[in-house]
Amino acid sequence: MPNNTAIYGSQFWMQFQRKFVNWSLVRKILSMAIFILFWTILVQFIDYFHQIPTPKAVFLAIFELPVPVVLKNIGISFFRVLGGFFVGVLIGFPVGVAIGYSRILNHLIFPSFEMVRPIPPIAWIPLTVLFFINFESQAIFLTFYGAFFPIVYNTMGGISEVDICLPRAAMSFGVGKKLMLWKVILPAAMPQVFTGMKLAMGFAWILVVAAEMMSNKGGMGYYVWYNHAVMDYPHVVLAMGIIGLCGAICSVGVGVVGNYFTRWQRFV
Partner 1 sequence: MANAKQEALELVFKQPTFVSKVFSQKTILNTISVVSVFVVWALLVHFQVYRFSLLPSPAEVLEWGREWVTTKVFWIDTGMTTARVLVGVTAAYVIGIPLGLMIGWKKVFSDLSFPMLEILRPIPAPAYLPIAILLLPWQEASVAFIPFIDALFPVLLNTIIGVKLIDRDYFRAAQCLGSSPRQIFWHVVLPGALPSISSGCAIGMGIGWMGAVVGEMITGKWGLGYRIWESYILLRYPLIIDGMIAIGILGFASSKLIRYLTIRLVPWRKAITESLDESITK
Partner 2 sequence: MVATNQKSEVVFKDVAKGAYSKKLHTVILKDCSLNVEAGKLTVLIGPSGCGKTTVINLIAGYERPDHGEVLMDGQPVSGPNWERLVVFQETALFPWLTCYENVMFGPTARKSISREEAHRETMMLLNKVGLSEFRDKYPVQLSGGMQRRAELARALINKPKVMLMDEPFRGLDAMTRKLMQEYYLRLFEETGCTNLFVTSELEEAIILADKLLVMTNKPSKVRKAIDVDLPRPRDWSIATSERYREIKAEALELLHAEAIKGSVASGKTEIDLKAGFEKLKTARG
Contact criterion met (CB below 8 Å) for 246 and 78: yes
Least Å from the CB of residue 168 to partner 1: 21
Sites for partner 2 among residues 105-164 (CB under 8 A): 163
Q: What x/- string results for residues 105 through 144 when contact with partner 1 is judged by CB under 8 A?
A: --xxxxxx--xxxxxxxxxxxxx-xxx-------------
Cα–Cα distance, 208 to 30 (Å, whole number): 34
Q: Does 257 bind partner 2 (CB under 8 A)?
A: no
Maximum Cα–Cα distance across the chain: 89
How many residues interact with partner 2 (rule CB under 8 A)? 22
Q: Does 172 bind partner 2 (CB under 8 A)?
A: yes
Buried residues in 90-118 as b, exposed as e (16+ CB within 10 A): eebbebbbbbbbeeeebeebeeebeeeee
Cα–Cα distance, 80 to 205 (Å, whole number): 9
* Choice from 45, 48, 260, 267 touching partner 2 (CB under 8 A): 267
Q: Does 69 bind partner 1 (CB under 8 A)?
A: no
Cα–Cα nearest to 151, from 189, 106, 111, 108: 189
> Of the two residues 185 and 236, which places its CB atom closer to partner 2 in the complex?
185
Q: What x/- string results for residues 9 through 48 when contact with partner 1 is judged by CB under 8 A?
A: --------------xx--xx-xxx-xx-------------
- Contacts (Cβ under 8 Å, ≥6 apart) of 121: 142, 145, 146, 203, 207
Least Å from the CB of residue 161 to partner 2: 14
When CB distances are held under 5 to 8 angstroms depending on the partner's kind, the choice from partner 1, partner 2, none that residue 203 binds is partner 1
> Of the two residues 96 and 167, which places its CB atom closer to partner 1 in the complex?
96
Segment near partner 2 (CB under 8 A); pick from 42-50, 107-115, 167-175, 213-221: 167-175
Cα–Cα nearest to 81, from 204, 197, 196: 204
When CB distances are held under 5 to 8 angstroms depending on the partner's kind, the choice from partner 2, partner 1, none that residue 67 binds is none
Looking at this protein, which amino acid is placed at residue 236?
A: V
Q: Does 97 bind partner 2 (CB under 8 A)?
A: no
Least Å from the CB of residue 85 to partner 2: 25
* Choice from 175, 181, 213, 240 touching partner 2 (CB under 8 A): 175
**What are the residue ranges of helices labelled H in the chain?**
2-20, 23-45, 55-61, 67-101, 103-116, 125-131, 135-160, 165-172, 177-180, 186-213, 220-229, 233-261
Q: Does 261 bind partner 1 (CB under 8 A)?
A: no
Q: What x/- string results for residues 182 through 211 when contact with partner 2 is judged by CB under 8 A?
A: -xx--xx-x---------------------
